[in-house]
Structure 1
Amino acid sequence: MERPHPSLYQLSTTATTRINGWDAVSAAIGVSQTVYPAARPNAVVLARPDYFPESLAATRLLHPFHAPLLYTESQALEEEVKRELVRLSPGGNGLPGQVIVVGAVHAQILHDIDELGFTSWHLIGHDLWDTVDRIAELDVGVDPRDVLLVSAHPLAGGVVAGGYAAHKGSPILFATERGLSPSATAYLRRHPRSRVFVICPEAYLPRTLTSDVRLLGSKVEGWIGGGDPYEVAGAFAKFRHSKSGVGWGRRERSGAAVTLVPTENWPFGVAAAALSSVGKQTPLLLTKRESLPGQTEDFLNRLRPRLEIGGFPQTHGFLVGSLDVISYPVQMRMHQALTRAD
């Protein structure tokens, strides 16, 4: 496939802003520089882009701790990550450390953070699920009974829960085709009467899930499902629970901003959760690399506001990833959907 030369295509349009990034590390830095271009965050969350449950669970720390999420995937801290940490210079006020390191990393990573003059707070458990459980248990000032439950499969669309978790601080729990994960079971045992919101296509999780949650003393208040992850993402962007207020509630003609992330590259979507925590507070939608799914395009078409004569479009969309990650034709479809006149 011929790669488009960057000079032939604009990265942004009047209705779309592309945050460039060709891999997980660069995409996360791009999001960080977009969300915190000048102001200092209070912390930085540092995770690995190959541990989906840990990284996604950590998104609940972004808004309460005023932090972006960065990645490291080497035995030593990448030079570009070092530069971004220095640029951000997180304050660490009221926290055990300025850089919140999630999960198992090489000791050199912690040493490099110290060498830069920052303190680290290492959130790690006995194994992956224990780490996820510890993140879910952290007190971030929200009702711990409102929880999001997603599939542990990284391509099942659960990444969109990260945007809302970053926005509200909601804990994220996980399940597989065999049932609740160990951390989800432990959490629900400690927090009976939780309100559980499942965000996943029905095909990815067992039919017994609702009854399994009930046996632990909680209730599935809503299952935001669908035939595929793209339908789920749109449904969750529209969802709002009347009793608890959980959900984005982005209805037709709301003119709300949104962020488009690639399904195949889940670390991009997890890092993009920072766009949901500050600024325009955007829900996440999913796309394929070469084509905009019909479910996503339909949601975008319904989102744009009706305009009076002489009005201007208010809806705006972010895309996270380079032209090799989300193609230029997909960006044009998004632009057209957000600007097309009725």
Structure 2
Amino acid sequence: MKKLILLGSATLLLGAVLAGCQAGNTDKTSSTKAYSQTAVNMPWIGTKNTTRINSSDPVQAAVLVSRTLWTAETESNRPSSVVLTDAAHWQIAAASADLIHHPSNGPVLYFNKDGIPEATIDELTRLKPLGAESNEGVQVIIVGTAADGVEAQLKEMDLKVDKIEGNEPAAVAQAIDTYYAKVSGELPDSVIIGSMDSPEYTLPAVNWIAHMPEPLLYVSQNEIPAATAEALEARSGQASIYILGPGRVISEDVEQQLAAYGTVTRISGDNPYENSVAFAKYKDSSNGFGWGITAPGHNLSLLTTDSPLLAVAAAPFSHLGKHAPLIFTEQGGLPDAVMNYTMELQPKYKDSPAEGPYNHAWLTGDASTLSGGLQSEIDDMLEISPASGDNPHSGH
């Protein structure tokens, strides 16, 4: 596979920055040195229908996603504010994706128990956030409970900071919902209800809430936390509630309790792969909620179920560019549900492949997370093909 170079020399500069960043890579410490050299050489790996964010380190991946979407060359492609969230709590990081879209229009980056990693500092310096006009010029929103030095580091950079503090997922999710309503001027009627215990079923929500104003609120299998109930009560019985995941993840009893706050719809699949496809295909025609992607000419964001912080780092791929829902896959190949979905989305041409439309996919993770074979397979499945069923490469 050949290297995809974005913004010329910026790729080499980014590699140099990322090489020194090892924060958050607790599962692959033995390969960090070898990976750092890979990061220098190939931060992105592209094929004709796919682009890989070539890092399985959440801190590095978040920076790469940020650099891909916000070139920061002019004011029009700089973020208003950046979401800086805790790499120790996937639930808090996932709920914080609601702050990606306007008025923030910025990426999620990570802090950890030691403070702000060097790669994140360098990315904040490159981005030079403009400050969100409807949020009193705030440039960085800290979500979660940060180490004592985090705010001081940001103030040394002369950045205006706001905070949404806490360590309890349901309470922080409620606080994010309230905060968004304040800075945007609206409290969305629709909400997504996810399990705080099952990221493999909840995380497809992050791409939608990065794209649209609806929040992610949390329940456990058999209980609605008080903070979630309060957030729903603020909708005065008019909430459109979308449960994400099957009954063994969020029980039917909880579903019945949620009906007290509005209308309830469950979107689910029997396994995480089917569940993510079901959410990508779902559309509520009454209010426009949901991706409703069932035809060619779209973008997907592929990740494995065991990397929740990578999923949050990649959430901005649904906010800018070719907006993409999150689709879960296996490390070495497409599961049946995803294979069938890509077959449904595969573009067909009548006379020439130049007719379009075209599909694309983002992959987030290095080859230890998403294999080269998987990237090749998804590239093939997204390729435009003749409606006749003939050889896709004949006649042009």
Structure 2 length normalisation: TM-score? 0.80
What are the superposed Cα offsets for residues 16-54 of structure 1, whole Å, 9 maximum, x if unpaired?
000122211011111111111232100000011221221
Q: What's the offset of the Cα at 1:275? A: 0.8
Partner of 1:90: 129
Residue 298 of structure 1 is aligned with which of 317, 322, 340? 340
Report the Cα offset of residue 290 of structure 1: 2.5
User: Aligned ranges for residues 161-310 of structure 1 at < 5 Å?
Assistant: 161-191=205-235, 192-215=237-260, 217-220=261-264, 222-252=265-295, 254-310=296-352
The DSSP-based 3-state class of the residue aligned with 1:208 is helix
Aligned residue pairs total: 338
What is residue 325 of structure 1 aligned with on the other side?
A: 369
Q: Report deviation, 1:125.
A: 4.3
Measured at CA, do residues 273 and 126 of structure 1 come closer, stay the same or move farther in structure 2, by a change above 3 Å?
A: closer
Contact 1:264 1:288 in 2 (8 A): no
RMSD: 2.2
In structure 2, relative to structure 1, the CA distance for the partners of 1:127 and 1:158 (3 Å cut) is: closer
2:101 partner amino acid: H
Partner of residue 133, structure 1:
174
Q: How far is 1:162 from its partner?
A: 0.7
Cα 1:126–1:160 change in 2 (3 A) is closer
Secondary structure in structure 1 of the residue aligned to 2:283 = coil
Q: Provide the rounded CA distance (Å) in 2 between the counterparts of 1:141 and 1:63.
A: 14
Percent of aligned positions that are identical: 26
Report if the CA contact (8 A) 2:62-2:108 is conserved. Answer: yes
Once residues 182 and 137 of structure 1 are traced to their aligned partners in structure 2, the CA distance between those partners, rounded to angstroms, is 15
Deviates more, 1:129-138 or 1:42-51: 129-138
Structure-2 residue corresponding to 1:27: 61
Structure 2 residue 180 is the aligned partner of structure 1 residue 108? no
Q: Distance in 2 between matches of 1:12 and 1:181?
A: 43
CA distance in 2, matches of 1:320, 1:114: 31
Question: Counterpart of 2:347 in 1: which secondary structure?
Answer: coil
The equivalent residue for 1:61 is: 99
Which runs of 5 or more residues in structure 2 are unaligned?
1-30, 390-396
Q: What does residue 12 of structure 2 align with?
A: none
8 Å contact from structure 2 (residues 169, 196) kept in 1: no
Q: Tell me, which stretches of 5 or more residues in structure 1 are unaligned?
A: none
Distance 1:78 1:125, change over 3 A: closer
Q: 1:95-140 CA distances to partner (integer Å, 9 max, x unpaired)?
A: 2421110010101011111111211111114844322211012313
Residue 178 to residue 209, structure 1, CA distance change in 2 (3 Å): closer
State the distance in 2 between where 1:73 and 1:20 align.
21
Distance in 1 (alpha carbons) for counterparts of 2:187 and 2:230? 17
- Report matched runs for 1:116-155 at 5 Å: 116-125=157-166, 127-138=168-179, 139=181, 140-155=184-199
Aligned to 1:250, what secondary structure does the other structure show?
A: coil
What CA deviation, in whole Å up to 9, does each residue of 1:279-335 have, x standing for no partner?
Answer: 111111111223322111211121122212221451011101111121111111111
Secondary structure at the aligned position of 1:104 is classed as coil
> Which structure would you say has the larger Rg?
2
1:277–1:285 Cα change, 3 Å: same
List 4+ stretches of structure 1 deviating above 3 A. 2-8, 125-128
Cα distance in 1 between the residues matched to 2:70 and 2:331: 27
Shift of 1:175: 1.4
SS of the residue corresponding to residue 312 of structure 2 reads: helix
Tell me, yes or no, if structure 1 residue 41 matches structure 2 residue 79: yes
Partners of 2:287 and 2:383 lie apart in 1 by 33
Q: TM-score when scaled to structure 1?
A: 0.93
